[in-house]
Structure 1
Amino acid sequence: MRNRTTSIARILLGILVLAGLAYVAYPLLTDRPKSRPEPAVSTGTSGAESSSTPVFTKEGEVTFVSAGKKILTIDVEIAENEAERAKGLMYRPYLPDSVGMLFVFERADPHSFWMKNTAMPLDIIYVGADKKIISIQKNTTPYSEQSLPSFGDAQYVVEVNAGFTDRQGIKVGDSILF
């Protein structure tokens, strides 16, 4: 009787181990989209954040304009000094589609961005001193150190989620207002 009880216990333990493995492996083996954490968004009016993950803080708005007509307006953080521009959207696991980052340079020059330490794919919109879009680097590769050039003199850059420019119909020649 003791051997039979031991065998049953081993079988039950094996079933539990297999069930645990299936629970862990199922999301990895299916094509279902992985769940994303809730976005960390702040209007900039609250106190210190408890998480070490960077939190979005609204510092302004960017409006996209095509043929004189407003396409849409998004909230932005503004990177206006060298330290802020160097960090950009690094270390953020998620960015809502309604927000982005506006980089402001002192003058229009050729610029190049990379995706080092950036976990999410982005569209990088290069904008001239006249606020017209001169080029768009679409669907960038996370963590890549590949250079993503402006292909012209840009004074402003807007970073948004990958696919944003296609979904909103934003193209080279359109303008921004901020």
Structure 2
Amino acid sequence: MKLIFPRAILPGLISLAALSCADEPKETSIPTEEITFTKEGELDLLKNGEITHSLNIEIADTPYEWETGLMYREALGEDQGMLFIYTNEAPRSFYMKNTLIPLDLIFYDKDSSVVSFHENAVPLDLTSIPSAKPAQFILEVNAGKVDEWNIETGDKMKFTRD
């Protein structure tokens, strides 16, 4: 259906439309809640079969969780981390988009052995952080932990879900 308006009415309709837009509320920011850590499991770091450190973990095992990871977090506890669990071993690459805290990334193969790690990933940096070899598990922890915990290629980890 086509509407036809006499030319005399058209300027009034345009003015009315402009007034109705002026009455709409100005864009306001929506308050957001801080994303906090939710323990979903425990992870032990192993060197020569001995536990060297234990931490609480969140688990990322869905496409949405893989994509968002620790984005928008303002902090991560000293003994906390996020474990990314994939269904297969493959070359993996991460970046720090929307990630506000510096992180260390530890890449593990299908046998839970460290194949590589990246220390002090820069917050908000879009530079690719690839695994040196195919990985199935990736552990993200606070920056400095790889050095503090003396993580080396070949070290192992084991985890349990809550």
The two structures have a TM-score, normalised by structure 1, of 0.71
State the match for 2:107 in structure 1: 126
Q: In structure 1, how many angstroms separate the alpha carbons of the residues matched to 2:45 and 2:105?
A: 14
| Mapping for residues 147-158 of structure 1, pairs under 5 Å | 147-158=128-139
1:140 aligns with one of 107, 121, 128? 121
State the match for 1:104 in structure 2: 85
The residue matched to 1:86 in structure 2 has which SS? helix
* Number of residue pairs the alignment of both structures matches: 129
- Quote the offset at 1:160 in angstroms: 0.1
Runs of 4+ in 1 over 4 A off after TM superposition: none
Q: In structure 2, how many angstroms separate the alpha carbons of the residues matched to 1:88 and 1:167?
A: 23
State the match for 2:26 in structure 1: none
State the match for 1:59 in structure 2: 40
| Mapping for residues 9-24 of structure 1, pairs under 5 Å | none
Q: Which has the higher helix share?
A: 1
The residue matched to 1:131 in structure 2 has which SS? coil
1:163 aligns with one of 144, 149, 155? 144
Amino acid at match of 2:40: E
Is structure 2 residue 82 aligned with structure 1 residue 82? no
- Quote the offset at 1:75 in angstroms: 0.2
- Quote the offset at 1:172 in angstroms: 1.3
Amino acid at match of 1:129: K
Amino acid at match of 1:70: I
Amino acid at match of 1:173: G
- In percent, how many aligned pairs have the same letter? 40
Amino acid at match of 1:132: S
- Quote the offset at 1:148 in angstroms: 0.2
- Quote the offset at 1:65 in angstroms: 0.1
Q: In structure 2, how many angstroms separate the alpha carbons of the residues matched to 1:58 and 1:164?
A: 19
Where does structure 2 lack aligned partners over 5 or more consecutive residues? 1-31
Who wins on radius of gyration, i.e. which is larger?
A: 2
Where does structure 1 lack aligned partners over 5 or more consecutive residues? 1-50
- Quote the offset at 1:165 in angstroms: 1.1
Q: In structure 2, how many angstroms separate the alpha carbons of the residues matched to 1:107 and 1:150?
A: 14
